[in-house]
A and B are shown apart, each in its own frame.
Chain A
Amino acid sequence: EDKVVQSPLSLVVHEGDTVTLNCSYEVTNFRSLLWYKQEKKAPTFLFMLTSSGIEKKSGRLSSILDKKELFSILNITATQTGDSAVYLCAVEAGGAQKLVFGQGTRLTINP
């Protein structure tokens, strides 16, 4: 069965800290891994990763994929209260032609 596991499930840090969110997966015929940020409503797209070792970066956020070890990390540096959200990792399972989501990591940034 296709599976995506995120850790930690919950994280509370202070503004300015750096955080690393983890996503490991076991899926049939991996095609891509995506990160989404979900605040109150719709998940919004952050990154799509298809190749190992190539870092994707957007401002203070960055992500990298390791296809050998089957995981990805999402880093957020100099965190701000606006970064508080649930971060979702999703993997495209080509065998099942679907996007499998992890449970999400609830990140809380305290001022």
Chain B
Amino acid sequence: DSGVTQTPKHLITATGQRVTLRCSPRSGDLSVYWYQQSLDQGLQFLIQYYNGEERAKGNILERFSAQQFPDLHSELNLSSLELGDSALYFCASSVGEFYNSPLHFGNGTRLTVT
């Protein structure tokens, strides 16, 4: 158990809808990262937050947004969902702002858009 908690585990929704994925980092970790994993793309970095502030941005679509709250949990909001958004979404956390320490991943949220 990595100590990173993601909810829900599974999510099935229709195209055009909006969903929110939630992540609680390991105790003491200040950085939260969001990754998307699909069969043909591998693990793609979306966004990183450190202590409540956006730190780095990857290939995150404009329809997607995220935030990190004062208690350090994070939410990833996906809107105007398309079939191609179906994927496994991972949250990871680490102690520092940079990659000095390894990332610890949650078990992911499997999103299916129908």
Pick the interface stretch among A57-65, A67-75, A101-109.
A101-109
Q: How far is the CA of A92 from the CA of B56 in the complex (A)?
A: 13
Q: How far is the CA of A92 from the CA of B31 in the complex (A)?
A: 15
How many chain A residues touch the partner (CB < 8 A)?
Answer: 22
Report the number of A-B residue pairs with Cβ-Cβ less than 8 Å: 50
> Whose C-beta in chain A lies nearest to the C-beta of B43?
A101
Least distance between B26 CB and chain A CB atoms (Å): 12
| Chain A residues within an 8 Å CB radius of B55 | 97
Pick the interface stretch among A16-24, A37-45, A77-85.
A37-45
Q: How far is the CA of A75 from the CA of B103 in the complex (A)?
A: 22
Complex interface bits, B101-114 against A, C-beta within 8 A gives 1, otherwise 0: 01111111000000
| Chain B residues within an 8 Å CB radius of A99 | 33, 45, 99, 103
**DSSP class of B's interface residues: helix, strand, loop or mixed?**
strand
Q: Report yes or no: A44 in contact with B2, Cβ–Cβ below 8 A.
A: yes
**DSSP class of A's interface residues: helix, strand, loop or mixed?**
strand
Q: How far is the CA of A43 from the CA of B2 in the complex (A)?
A: 9
Q: Report yes or no: A42 in contact with B90, Cβ–Cβ below 8 A.
A: yes
Q: Report yes or no: A103 in contact with B42, Cβ–Cβ below 8 A.
A: yes
Least distance between A26 CB and chain B CB atoms (Å): 16
The chain B residues found within 8 Å of chain A, CB to CB, are: 2, 4, 33, 35, 42-45, 48, 55-56, 58, 90, 98-99, 102-108
Task: List 9 additional contacts besides A41-B108, A45-B103; criterion CB under 8 Å.
Answer: A34-B102, A43-B105, A90-B43, A98-B45, A98-B48, A99-B45, A101-B35, A101-B44, A102-B42
